[in-house]
Amino acid sequence: MTKVIALPMCSAKAPQANIEYLKNQLAKLVIEEPTLVCLPETWLAFCDNAQQSWEYAQHNEALLGELSALCQQHNIWLAAGTIAIPSQNDKYLAASYLFNSSGEIVARYNKIHLFDADVSDKTKQYRESERTESGQDVVVVDSPFGRIGLSVCYDLRFPGLFQMMRAQGAELFLVPSAFTCATGKAHWQPLLQARAIENQCYVVAAAQVGCHENGRETYGHSLIVSPWGEVLIDSGASLEPISQQLDSAFLDSIRQKMPVADHNRFKSEFL
């Protein structure tokens, strides 16, 4: 058996403060089996604005070594939410890194769908594309936890991405997120369940939660969802980690009994 842990966070602005928080949380874990720890979107720095994120991005790659060392120290795989990494034209990429227990980077996914939306909260307007460069590549990678498909937050609303990852053999979707309270209450859980049901995959969604230093509020409710669409565990508004053992035999049974991937008559040329 293998285990996944979703670690909710209410991230601060300063990267080092969030790294220290992560270190403290990892020190509390008891690792007795292959374990994947999943962090939320923007876990490293929940900034005041896009300019501040861009400024941090100039130095963030230097912090990857600390994450590598933590993986080795605790014998864990780590899905490191998103980290702002410099790109072109004064923009940055929202990069989601996956480390193995040897501290090696085995995959990196750059967030494809950027959150440009008007929302009925204190922030009112989000324009992620102003300083964030969209990623281009679908990323699916082998691991002890099955084939992992990487996504981030707003990607959740685009089922075509998840269908492409399923076509590439995905068995587990990771969805690190920082959903707003307004959109979270309306859509967060049903979207996660839909992606799990449609593709017969486990879904692990580590989420930001609470009121942040910059005044923003995030919805929380980190979830682990089964390939049948059951919510196996929900963190609610808590910062306590949640965990679940993954049952590959259960996943295989669902796919054998109802082979929806084979039945799909609307596959595009990309699937």
- What pLDDT, in 10s, does the model give residues 145-181? 999 999 999 999 999 999 999 999 999 999 999 999 9
Burial of 160 from C-beta contacts in 10 A (0-12 / 13-18 / 19+): exposed
pTM over 0.95: yes
Residue 187 and residue 17: Cα distance in Å, rounded?
Answer: 31
Q: What is the DSSP letter of 51?
A: H
Active site residue: 10, 41, 47, 217, which one? 41
Residue ranges per domain, the chain?
A: 2-263
Would you identify the CATH topology of the domain 2-263? Nitrilase/N-carbamoyl-D-aminoacid amidohydrolase (3.60.110)
**pLDDT tens across 22-58, in order?**
999 999 998 999 999 999 999 999 998 888 998 989 9
Instruction: Tell me which of 71, 153, 181, 201 is the catalytic residue.
Output: 153
- Each residue of 243-269: pLDDT tens digit? 999 999 999 999 999 999 999 998 776
Catalytic residue among 10, 111, 133, 181: 111
3-state secondary structure of 155: helix
Residue 91's Cβ-count burial label (10 Å; 0-12, 13-18, 19+) is: middle
Cβ-Cβ contacts under 8 Å for 266 (sequence gap 6 or more)? none
Task: Report the Cα–Cα distance between both ends of the chain, in Å, rounded.
Answer: 30
Active site residue 111: yes
Query: DSSP class of residue 13?
Result: S
Our answer to whether residue 153 is catalytic in this structure is yes
